[in-house]
Amino acid sequence: MPTEEKTSYSYLEAIGAALAHELDNNDDFFLIGEDVGAFGGPFKVTKGFLEKYGPRRIIDSPIAETGMAGLAAGAALAGLRPMVEFQFADFISCAFDPIINTIARHHWRTGDAMPIVLRAPFGGRLRAGPTHSQSMETYFAHVPGLKIVMPGTAEDAAGLLIASIRDNNPVMFFENKYLYRRLSAQGSPSFEPIELGKANVVREGTDITVVTYSAGVHQAVEAAEELAKDGISVEVVDLRTIKPLDIETVAASVKKTSRAVVLHEAAEFMGMGAEIAAEIQKEAFWYLDQPVERIAAKNTPTPTSPPLEDAVIPQQPEITETIRKVAKA
């Protein structure tokens, strides 16, 4: 019987395909994490990897996030290229010390390369409650020495992950688990690395710029399509990486539209929106017709209750109306 050819792939499948591609092409690359082997990971990204690549390269760890991060640091210094998978980004805080004091700092002390990727499924909308729904990027964005990658599309997921694996600096790779099986793209994943620190204008517009990343990209595009019916032209910038921050692309867009809204799922207080708004003010203040507005989660733990979670995380009506308000002000 002929096998039916697969014509599309999901965000989740793009991640798995990128991992397999790098495992096939670099014997120094290996994975370590809780349940990444026999179980295939909590989201089955690494299903079948243990049988194909063996226990030397697919390493099941006990529940020991600090140990995994510390082992990765030692392996990187020995010339290997480790990847640590944290089942849920919420628990990466257990490894805060080796990430902050060793992985992020070592190169600056010695000049040694530290090629480590820390993969972390994050975010809400799965009704998973306050300890399985957090957006952790801002905690680490403040730390010199870490790159932070946050793909928002299935098309970008593989290329950004491969670029992260091949980078000689530590990279935190935050995957929005709500998008895993909800996004798909046509064809097969591209394994061409996507430059880190380079934003993408996913929709061009002339009246207002929305700067966002991860799941926010799709909310912004949906709002842009709705507002287009009222004659409001919205440009959407997907940052792809929040560190390095591609303020050049953001500023160019704001200089064109003269208005900006920053959208993200993490809490608003001390979040990326504040930093991006400050950078826009520095680079494009004289082009602004209105203050930069932020749309983000409320400063409270994410509830398990669906209506309460919806009340905390930005929803489509709020996003659309906020963009409309700034565009018409």
What residues are annotated to the active site?
Answer: 65, 132
The 3-state DSSP class for residue 159 equals helix
Please check whether residue 161 is in contact with residue 145, taking contact to mean a CB–CB distance below 8 angstroms: no
Please check whether residue 29 is in contact with residue 23, taking contact to mean a CB–CB distance below 8 angstroms: yes
230, amino acid identity = D
Q: Which residue has the tokens 């504040």?
A: 274
Please check whether residue 223 is in contact with residue 233, taking contact to mean a CB–CB distance below 8 angstroms: no
Q: Where are the alpha helices (DSSP H) in 26-101?
A: 49-53, 65-77, 96-97
What spatial distance separates the first Cα and last Cα of the chain, rounded to whole Å? 62
Tell me how crowded residue 128 is: count the other CB atoms within 10 A of its CB. Answer: 18
- Cα(250)–Cα(260) distance, integer angstroms: 9
- Strand-pair partners of 261: 210, 293
Phi/psi at 122 (5° precision): -140, 175
Tell me how crowded residue 50 is: count the other CB atoms within 10 A of its CB. Answer: 19
Q: To which H or E segment does residue 175 belong?
A: strand 171-176
The alpha-carbon radius of gyration of the chain (Å, integer) is: 20
- Cα(22)–Cα(173) distance, integer angstroms: 15
Tokens of 145: 């020495």
